[in-house]
Structure 1
Amino acid sequence: MYIFALILITGVQSRFVSKHEEWIPPPFHSDLEDVYFEKNFESVKPVYLKRIPRQVQGVTNTNPDGSSNWIIKTPIAGNDKNVLSGVGGIYGVKNGDFNAALAGLSLDNLHGHSASITGKHIKNFGNQLTAAGKLNLLHNDRHDLSAHAFGTRTFPNNPMIPNFNTVGGGVDYTFNNKIGASLGMSHTDLLKRTDYSAMGNLNIFRNPTSSLDFNAGATKSISPFLPKSNWQPNFGISYIKYF
Structure 2
Amino acid sequence: MKDKKIIVGSIFGVVVIALLVVTLFFFANKTQTKQAVSTDNPTDIVLDFYGDWSNAVQSTSTNPYQEGLAKTPILSKTLRDRLLATPENPEIDPVLCQNIPPTKVSSRTIIEEADTIQILVMSKEPIQTGQAVFMLSRLDDGWYIDDILCAQGESGTPGEFSFAHEGGLFKSVSDQSLPDQEYWSILYIQDAKMYTARLLFTADSMCTNLAGTEAVCNPDQFTETKVQVRGEMSENGVTVQQLSFN
TM-score by length of 2: 0.26
TM-score by length of 1: 0.27
More strand by share: 1
Give the structure with higher Rg (CA).
2
More helix by share: 2
